[in-house]
Amino acid sequence: MHLKRQCYLSLDLSTQSLKALVTTDDLKIIFEHTINFDTDLPEFQTKDGVHRHPDGITITSPTLMWVKAIDQILMVLHSSDEVTLDEICMVSGTAQQHGSVYWKKAAELTLAHLNSNSSLVDQLQECFAMTDSPVWMDASTTQQCRDLEQKIDGGYGLAQLTGSRAFERFTANQITKIYRCHRESYVNCDHISLVSSFVASIFVGKYAPIDYSDGSGMNLLNIRTRKWEETLLDACAPYLSDRLGEPVPSNKIIGKVSGYLQQRYGFSPDCQVLAFTGDNPAALAGMCLSSGDVAVSLGTSDTLLFWCDKANPKPTGHVFVNPIEETEFMSMLCFKNGSLPRQEVCDRVCEGSWEKFNETLKTTEAGNNGTIAINFREMEILPHAKGVHMINSDDIRLSELEPRDEVRAVIEGQFLAKRLHAESFGFQKGSTSRILATGGASQNPAILQILSNVFNLPVYTLPSTSNATCIGCIYRCKQAALGGSKADFFEAVKSVAPPKLVCEPMADVVTIYDNLMKRYETFEKSIVDSDD
């Protein structure tokens, strides 16, 4: 008798595309496909998956474009030779954080009674109170952010409750704008989804709940009680809790796939749907981070993700409920000045040659003889400051450095900042701690060696990071299949190829950076105070 395979399906609805990934129970990838919004759905006339409005700060995506992308990817899956959809035993997924979808009254009734002879996009045409969904790139809610913070003891008070100060892209502020500026649409709205729970809703045939981890990026969820904060709901719009529903743990099975998907595409009636989550929480799962690890993404902007046992939120970063263990947390820190300052120094000092840049790093001493530079070409997030600032070993301000010293200074300054702010947010090294490096600069071993030295941690790179969010939800499915606990997660991923060790800290220079840390902290504070 032939036994049917057990497979997992994950979907990732990012800003520019929808991706589907299927693995077998042993986590072997057997199917991948991506729908690009700009090229595969040109009728929606998006650029980079969004519409940029004339005011320059309002940025949205057509909700029906996402629906049609789901139609298309399910058709591709249905016709695939690699997998039959009755082999899928569990579905989960991820989506861009902070985006929101506004279901019109009676939309859930439509979801529950879809006709398997027609497409989703044909049947959901009239189901949205707002036809365009605000996304994370939107920056049009500054006034709403100020108003919300005034209700809760400023940005610090709001961060203590929700894990973040008020940000323009966060859902609470987007909802407030819709209530104030599009009152009729809000009144006609029956339910509000995050993009992640919107996709999950289509799979379960009813309004899917928002999970704790993605819900942490809304300025509405109390990250400690994991419930909506009533004061914040009331500050945004009336009857908001009715439109949001109750949030759920990220590892909760929220139902079975809908009858529509069973009949139209051949999903098994036993196929379960795991709560969908946001892209950053999914990335933490996809990189298999554990307590004491830190993921450092070195791209246009630099980002840190790490697991923490306790929440230590501040207005300059983000704390989310952990997607693997609901009683713990994950922190995310964003640094706007990433690759651009590195590239500027490389172009100016090393004629654009990274080979020369790396040679210069090797011929200069760790700690740069006490010289520290802060290179913020753009207004920085952590801290809120701008400009190029330099001091020598006597803490005297400098107007310029020797070119060869600039090369080391830009790298050391960036990594000292990352360590300072990670530790202030609760990052603590353990005996098995490590750095997982991703992004463009993670291919540069000379830069990674300095990262290792500054943090006093070994640095690893992952075999592949292109699917970190999508594969993270596959791992979450396997975790749920095993029982749903933190232990089950690490049992689920034990067969995953381990990251590759790139470099380890050099014992003779670690104390140099420990000493520089104290001076860097004082120096950074001085430039923030001077800007104030």
For residues 54 and 410, give the distance between their C-alpha atoms in angstroms, rounded to a whole number: 37
pLDDT value at residue 119: 98
For residues 373 and 395, give the distance between their C-alpha atoms in angstroms, rounded to a whole number: 11
pLDDT value at residue 381: 86
Q: Let me know if 495 is exposed, middle or buried by CB neighbors in 10 A (0-12, 13-18, 19+).
A: exposed
pLDDT value at residue 435: 97
pLDDT value at residue 430: 87
Antiparallel, parallel or unpaired: β 59-62 and 88-95? unpaired
Low pLDDT (below 70) residues in the chain: 1-3, 464-466, 529-532
pLDDT value at residue 532: 43
pLDDT value at residue 530: 62
The share of the chain scoring above pLDDT 90, in percent, equals 91
Q: What's this model's pTM, rounded to 2 decimal places?
A: 0.91
Enumerate domains of the chain plus CATH numbers. Answer: 7-275 (3.30.420.40), 288-465+499-531 (3.30.420.40)
The 3-class secondary structure across 123-155, one letter per residue, is HCCCCECCCEEECCCCCCCHHHHHHHHHHCCHH
Which one, of 233, 426, 464, 407, lies nearest residue 319 by Cα? 426
For residues 104 and 238, give the distance between their C-alpha atoms in angstroms, rounded to a whole number: 16
Return the amino acid letter for 409. Answer: A
